[in-house]
Structure 1
Amino acid sequence: MITQATIQQIQNRIDIIDVVGSFVKLKKRGTNYLGLCPFHNEKTPSFTVSPNKEIYKCFGCGKSGNTISFIMEHEKYSYVEALKWLANRYNVEVEETEVSAEVRAQQQLADSLYIVNGFAQQYFSKVLLEEEEGQDIGLSYLKERGFTDTVIRKFQLGFCKEARNAFVTEAIAKQYNSELLVKSGLAAMRNDELVDNYRGRIIFPVHNTTGKVIGFGARIIKKNDRAPKYINTPENEIYIKSRILYGMYFARQVIDKFDECLLVEGYTDVISLHQAGIENVVASGGTSLTTEQIRLVRKYTQNLTIVYDGDAAGVKAALRGLDMALEEGLNVKLVLIPDKEDPDSYVNKVGPDAFREFVASNKKDFIIFQVEVALKDAGNDSQKKAAVVNQIAETLSRINKAEDFTKQQDYIRQCAQLLKIEESGFNNLVNKFIREKVNKLESKWPVDQSSPDDGMPPLPDFDAGSDDGFQLLLKDELQERAVVRALVEFGLKAWNDSQKVADHIFEELVDEDLFDNQQLLDVIKTYKAWYEAGIEPTAKNFYYHENQELSAVVVSLMEFPYELSEKWKDKFQMAVSQRDDTYREEVISTLGYLKLRKIKRLIDENQQDLSRPHTIEEQMTLLQTHQALKQMERELLQNLGTVIVK
């Protein structure tokens, strides 16, 4: 973990205008800055950055956050990766907390592999672009394939010389460890001699989602029946094939922007499509999709379109990994390239526009396609048809997310029609597979494990589903948010001679039941813990909290729906009161209305209880409770100076 001292240094140096401005063209507008949102397509700027509050907000798509969350969202980094990115930008040395010797050794090995791979990539690219052998063999081959200098440099392609140990000699001369060269797959030990592993091959560097080179794919150019077409990096501490999708580093932002990921098989498919301007594309390397790869796609979009060759092998490859994709909630479509073409050759044949149009108009629903293929293979064999019914039912049972229930029912209806069986019977079969899975999971639970519902807060008695119930919840939450915002903004200001605003709010909020929103209550508890520990909590403390949910809540509280024009005073020649001038009134008002809303709810609940049958003693207790609540309501209304509560 990164130390708090390092995080504090990064926070102190962060300039949100500098960071966001490196990705978005910003124009000053009053006290804020305005630009086109990088998270959705828009022609009129609605993306606003506040240097004073150190947050951004898009009033078009609703995205908001701070500097760190902007880097996380835009670059698709984790919290730690975003911190390291900022540390590098502001020349802050990253210190990490003490870890075990074993973990430290693993980290050092991973760092060493990154360094070796980075050197290798630069060496291979230099050979390809600047040395005679690389230009004559490697570059001429890539040019024949139609690749431009721009895309070659973008994907950092390279070439390994034919000589037995040209790369190894260079690496050893630069004092790179021979064991690391073997572990990274760049070299191999043959007859007690260290030799290059990728001799005479085009080199395709493989990047992780932060842009670091984690491995290589090496394609042979000359015809050699005995040699494999591709050699890939062996698995090691940083190269784990099941977690990698080639091209994701270059595609991730475009996938997020267009809300769709195209999946192809090979390196050249990805590069050709990128060159044609179709950049939301990654490659699986022709292997079965893994859960980790599917989850990597899901970080950026729920929509996966598989674009494979139309031959039998392509169809078979496309169908692999379907069940896992369904379990992860992806919407999967399939496009098969015609005429024995692959995406690389087809886009070069028909051009970018025709390729896009073909993909858009030829998407097939994955499950329906699977049914059609399976039925075709089964022919008139009744036993095979029965097996198909079971296979499809088992597949549909994997659509197990509650929000996908309607989609599952629609599939059951369509598949029953294609299979020519009764929908009700097919639905029962799907449910049978679902029950079997549930039973299997339950059998693995410890005997004394609590019910999944244990510990859940009880539902309120009022009907939250009704319009009145919804409005009540909404108004309550608005009051809760107003109180927490007042605490974060004004907590350190003076309330009276001996107290600060935070002291007053904590005295008034003794009862946690005043809050329904647990996240808002967590903000209050965190603030109080800091305050009592002698730390002066500010909005900035929350913005850069490692708990991103907590950070997001406070950012949403501090958003700026409007700002005061700087010309107001000059135009009207009058003093304009600011929230900082009236913070005491705001605190009194927000606390008062929060309590009032809660009392109104208690009165309504008590009245509902009164309408039910009770003993005389119970009836009297409820009446006395009603009178007490109404008295509290009158006192609050008097203090607030109002007589109407909607």
Structure 2
Amino acid sequence: MIPRVTVDKILDAALVEEVVGEFITLKKRGTNLLGLCPFHGEKTPSFTVSAVKGIYKCFGCGKAGNSVNFIMDHLQLSYPEALKWLARKYNIEVIEKEITPEEREQQTERESMLIVMQYAQRYFTETMMNTDEGKSIGLGYFKERELRDDIIAKFQLGYSLEERNAFTKAAVKSSYAPKYLAKTGMSIVSNRYVEGKELAEADLFDRYAGRVMFPIQDDGGRVVAFGGRTLSTDKKTAKYINSPETEIYNKSKILYGLWLGKKAIQNNDACYLVEGYMDVIAMHQAGIENVVASSGTSLTVDQIKSIHRFTRNIIVLYDGDEAGQKASNRAIPLLLEEGMNVRLLQFPNNDDPDSYSRKVTIQEFQDYIKNSTDDFLYFKAKKLKTETANDPIKRAGVIKDIVENIAVIPDNIIRSIYIKECANIMEIEESILQLEVNKIRRKGSKSSSSQSQRPSGQQTGTQNQSTSEEGAFDPASLDDTSFMEAAPESELYGFDAEEEKLLCLLIKYGNMLITTQAEDEVNMEHELEITLGEFIIFELWRDEIVYENPLYKMVLDEYIEQLKQQNLPNIEHFLRSPNPIVSSFIINHVIDKYEISPKWKNFGVLVPKEIDNAKRDAQRSLFSFKSRKLSHFIHEKQMELKTISYEDSLKVLEELKHLDSLKGRVNKLLGREVIK
């Protein structure tokens, strides 16, 4: 358990704009910051951060919260783990209280798997640096590749001993459960294992025996997987083995090097995309840090979206060999379709970034990278001229390839510019290219249209109509004061409206002092000064009114619990709730959606503030709530009359008469005239 004083220290230090800015590029818009939402795929920014209020909100998917909620959602951490992550970021020492066995049991499998991976990284690094085999083979390999000590440490490189179960044996000896060694994919379950019995060390063997190890981190810096390279010359042995898909590792979403390179990507507003682990490492050694690689898989749309959060500009540095060309041809259409600005670079003599960096000086490498990139169209046009001379069939194929690339570009203006440039370079009528592009786009449109035709209410995806790409809703067009504008919700049923209104008044103005009439022990009336919060809670308690909406009840119960402890909780208290549902409720329902412009004063118009009428609003909301409750009770009694005997009905009729009288008095207080 983390002490409350430490939690408050973390929350005070964790500025939402800094925390969110670790994962997406934010641009200033008025008093707010705007970026691409990391929780759902979008090309038009709808994710807004208010540094003043310390919160974020996505107008596309509705996600909202504070800095802790963001880390919980984005990195899939529990509340305590998110606090620890932030504590590490801000160098705040966390001294936890001893947790009970019950609390220990509640640690999730995900957390246990992450702990195993953290141990594995330390084990492989220490093995390489401190054992004879590790130093001679593992460290020897990296030194042969001319890596400096600081780069080896930066990427936490390591080595797995050739002994078939060295890692598994060491992990179990260090009290790591065999089941988590298997779940993370670090150890493999042998054929001798009998299904149903508890896993033991004897049932496992190492996945990566005899390999140099590359830890793979998510964009929160946690090790979630490994890549292992064999040093054997046996052609039957796979050169690289990567971690399998697990609960903590989805290889289609992770980019190698993003954790270490994202700041440089933001600062340079550009990202280099390479093929392998060593390519990323070599570029860092050459002083170029804005670089990533897909982790042992073809580039995916999710990986592109991860880059797009930081920049739209990407330079593809695939190898010059046939495999590199194929990888490049697969990646370019995906990048263009996601609205990226694509440039290409090819190294001479079929070199890759790693091999070329070892042939030239750091300065020569940097100069080559800087001066040798081409827009994808010009790159392909060069290829057209050099490789298709006197071969019209091959020329037509390359032109078709370029046209297909242009057709997937979503921006109309950029697409039309490329068509014009392509026509000039290839000496083809612009109208012919436009016609071909239109054909491809119509074909693609029909295909996507047929896939999307499904019964109403069964549409997939998180983006709603208001944030579609064509005519997309742009939150930047809103005034800054409308930052908390919630998306339209379904009709309120039951007592939601009254429960919500009273809860908002409680949280916003509960500590405001008011005067009310009260009776003493001899039934004499006198004025009593209490807080608005105490007044509302007392009125609900006196008439035994219970909240029915589970979310509102959860917040109300927390308020009452704080009152019992002599505290008057405010908005800040609930924003810091460990429950993201509670903080999201505060953002969407409690924080003011609009602010009165001070300009009205210049015209002599005094607009009343909500706080000025808080007591009156609370009284009206309470009476309205009571009236609705009485109507509900009356309806229940009327239904009961239809199912009971005549004798029993006399008692129910008396109750109905009493309830009707109470409702009449409440309506009178509300100023409602009941016509019968």
**C-alpha deviation, 1:531, in angstroms:** 10
**C-alpha deviation, 1:530, in angstroms:** 8.2
**C-alpha deviation, 1:455, in angstroms:** 8.8
Instruction: Say whether residues 1:437 and 2:456 are aligned partners.
Output: no
Q: Write the letter of the residue equivalent to 1:86.
A: L
Q: 1:99-151, CA deviations, whole angstroms, 9 ceiling, x for partnerless residues?
A: xxxxx99x955444323322222221111111222122222222232223322
Instruction: Say whether residues 1:413 and 2:420 are aligned partners.
Output: yes
Q: Distance in 1 between matches of 2:250 and 2:233?
A: 29
Q: Distance in 1 between matches of 2:234 and 2:208?
A: 14
Using a 3 Å threshold, how does the CA distance of structure 1 residues 444 and 223 change in structure 2: closer, same or farther? closer
Preserved contact between residue 64 and residue 556 of structure 1 (Cα < 8 Å): no
Preserved contact between residue 76 and residue 252 of structure 1 (Cα < 8 Å): no
Instruction: Say whether residues 1:391 and 2:401 are aligned partners.
Output: yes
**C-alpha deviation, 1:279, in angstroms:** 1.7
Instruction: Say whether residues 1:86 and 2:83 are aligned partners.
Output: yes
Using a 3 Å threshold, how does the CA distance of structure 1 residues 447 and 120 change in structure 2: closer, same or farther? closer
Q: Distance in 2 between matches of 1:502 and 1:411?
A: 65
Residue ranges of structure 1 left out of the alignment (5+ in a row): 1-5, 25-36, 48-60, 96-103, 458-469, 481-486, 504-525, 560-578, 592-646
Q: Write the letter of the residue equivalent to 1:140.
A: G
Q: Distance in 1 between matches of 2:531 and 2:435?
A: 61
Q: Write the letter of the residue equivalent to 2:150.
A: T
Using a 3 Å threshold, how does the CA distance of structure 1 residues 548 and 318 change in structure 2: closer, same or farther? farther
**C-alpha deviation, 1:376, in angstroms:** 5.1
Q: Write the letter of the residue equivalent to 1:429.
A: E
Instruction: Say whether residues 1:169 and 2:176 are aligned partners.
Output: no
Q: When the two structures are aligned, how many residues end up with a matched partner? A: 485
**C-alpha deviation, 1:256, in angstroms:** 2.4
Which residue of 1 is the match for residue 148 of structure 2?
148
Using a 3 Å threshold, how does the CA distance of structure 1 residues 553 and 380 change in structure 2: closer, same or farther? farther
Using a 3 Å threshold, how does the CA distance of structure 1 residues 449 and 343 change in structure 2: closer, same or farther? same
Which residue of 2 is the match for residue 66 of structure 1?
54
SS of corresponding position for 1:210: coil
Q: Which has the higher contact order (CA 8 A, sep 6+)?
A: 2
Q: Distance in 2 between matches of 1:395 and 1:197?
A: 40
SS of corresponding position for 1:129: helix
SS of corresponding position for 1:211: coil
Q: 1:507-547, CA deviations, whole angstroms, 9 ceiling, x for partnerless residues?
A: xxxxxxxxxxxxxxxxxxx99x9899989763665687767
Which residue of 2 is the match for residue 343 of structure 1?
353
Q: Distance in 2 between matches of 1:227 and 1:532?
A: 61
Q: Write the letter of the residue equivalent to 1:433.
A: I
What does 1:131-530 correspond to in 2, within 5 Å?
A: 131-178=131-178, 180-188=180-188, 192=192, 194-285=204-295, 287-373=297-383, 377-400=387-410, 404-446=411-453
Using a 3 Å threshold, how does the CA distance of structure 1 residues 361 and 13 change in structure 2: closer, same or farther? same
Using a 3 Å threshold, how does the CA distance of structure 1 residues 289 and 550 change in structure 2: closer, same or farther? farther
Q: 1:583-636, CA deviations, whole angstroms, 9 ceiling, x for partnerless residues?
A: xx9973789xxxxxxxxxxxxxxxxxxxxxxxxxxxxxxxxxxxxxxxxxxxxx
Preserved contact between residue 72 and residue 79 of structure 1 (Cα < 8 Å): no
Which residue of 1 is the match for residue 647 of structure 2?
none
**C-alpha deviation, 1:277, in angstroms:** 2.8
Q: 1:300-346, CA deviations, whole angstroms, 9 ceiling, x for partnerless residues?
A: 22221122333443333222221111121111211222244321233
Q: 1:407-455, CA deviations, whole angstroms, 9 ceiling, x for partnerless residues?
A: 11111111122332211221122122222222233334447759x9x99
What does 1:118-133 correspond to in 2, within 5 Å?
A: 118-133=118-133
Aligned match for 1:538, one of 560, 571, 574: 571
SS of corresponding position for 2:607: helix
Aligned match for 1:588, one of 596, 599, 607: 607
Preserved contact between residue 75 and residue 220 of structure 2 (Cα < 8 Å): no
Which residue of 1 is the match for residue 519 of structure 2?
none
Using a 3 Å threshold, how does the CA distance of structure 1 residues 269 and 488 change in structure 2: closer, same or farther? farther
Using a 3 Å threshold, how does the CA distance of structure 1 residues 539 and 85 change in structure 2: closer, same or farther? closer
Q: Distance in 2 between matches of 1:556 and 1:370?
A: 54
Q: Distance in 2 between matches of 1:427 and 1:163?
A: 62
Q: 1:226-285, CA deviations, whole angstroms, 9 ceiling, x for partnerless residues?
A: 322222222333333222211222222322232222111111221222233322211124
Q: Distance in 2 between matches of 1:247 and 1:66?
A: 29
Residue ranges of structure 2 left out of the alignment (5+ in a row): 33-48, 56-64, 88-93, 100-104, 193-202, 468-475, 486-504, 517-528, 534-550, 561-568, 611-676
Q: Distance in 2 between matches of 1:548 and 1:300?
A: 25
**C-alpha deviation, 1:163, in angstroms:** 2.4
Preserved contact between residue 263 and residue 281 of structure 1 (Cα < 8 Å): yes
Q: Distance in 2 between matches of 1:245 and 1:320?
A: 17
Preserved contact between residue 7 and residue 83 of structure 2 (Cα < 8 Å): no
Q: Write the letter of the residue equivalent to 2:367.
A: E
Q: 1:141-188, CA deviations, whole angstroms, 9 ceiling, x for partnerless residues?
A: 222322233222222211112223322322343454545444544334
RMSD: 5.5
SS of corresponding position for 1:273: helix
Q: Distance in 1 between matches of 2:73 and 2:282?
A: 24
Q: Distance in 2 between matches of 1:322 and 1:500?
A: 67
Q: Write the letter of the residue equivalent to 1:85.
A: A
Q: 1:535-582, CA deviations, whole angstroms, 9 ceiling, x for partnerless residues?
A: 9763665687767798599999999xxxxxxxxxxxxxxxxxxx9xx9
TM-score of the superposed pair, with normalisation by structure 2: 0.58
Q: Write the letter of the residue equivalent to 1:425.
A: I
Using a 3 Å threshold, how does the CA distance of structure 1 residues 145 and 456 change in structure 2: closer, same or farther? closer
Of the structure 1 ranges 183-192 and 436-445, higher mean CA displacement relative to structure 2 is found in: 183-192
Q: Distance in 2 between matches of 1:495 and 1:586?
A: 27
**C-alpha deviation, 1:9, in angstroms:** 6.7
**C-alpha deviation, 1:38, in angstroms:** 12
Using a 3 Å threshold, how does the CA distance of structure 1 residues 108 and 586 change in structure 2: closer, same or farther? farther
Q: 1:4-40, CA deviations, whole angstroms, 9 ceiling, x for partnerless residues?
A: xx9997997245554459x89xxxxxxxxxxxx9999
Of the structure 1 ranges 218-227 and 207-216, higher mean CA displacement relative to structure 2 is found in: 218-227
Which residue of 2 is the match for residue 13 of structure 1?
8
Which residue of 1 is the match for residue 654 of structure 2?
none
Preserved contact between residue 270 and residue 315 of structure 2 (Cα < 8 Å): yes
Which residue of 1 is the match for residue 525 of structure 2?
none
Q: Distance in 2 between matches of 1:355 and 1:74?
A: 37
Using a 3 Å threshold, how does the CA distance of structure 1 residues 489 and 163 change in structure 2: closer, same or farther? closer
Using a 3 Å threshold, how does the CA distance of structure 1 residues 270 and 299 change in structure 2: closer, same or farther? same
Using a 3 Å threshold, how does the CA distance of structure 1 residues 556 and 263 change in structure 2: closer, same or farther? farther
Using a 3 Å threshold, how does the CA distance of structure 1 residues 82 and 251 change in structure 2: closer, same or farther? farther
Which residue of 2 is the match for residue 461 of structure 1?
none
Preserved contact between residue 125 and residue 157 of structure 1 (Cα < 8 Å): yes
Preserved contact between residue 217 and residue 230 of structure 1 (Cα < 8 Å): yes
Using a 3 Å threshold, how does the CA distance of structure 1 residues 226 and 438 change in structure 2: closer, same or farther? closer
Q: Distance in 1 between matches of 2:263 and 2:333?
A: 26
SS of corresponding position for 1:333: strand
**C-alpha deviation, 1:299, in angstroms:** 2.2
**C-alpha deviation, 1:202, in angstroms:** 1.0
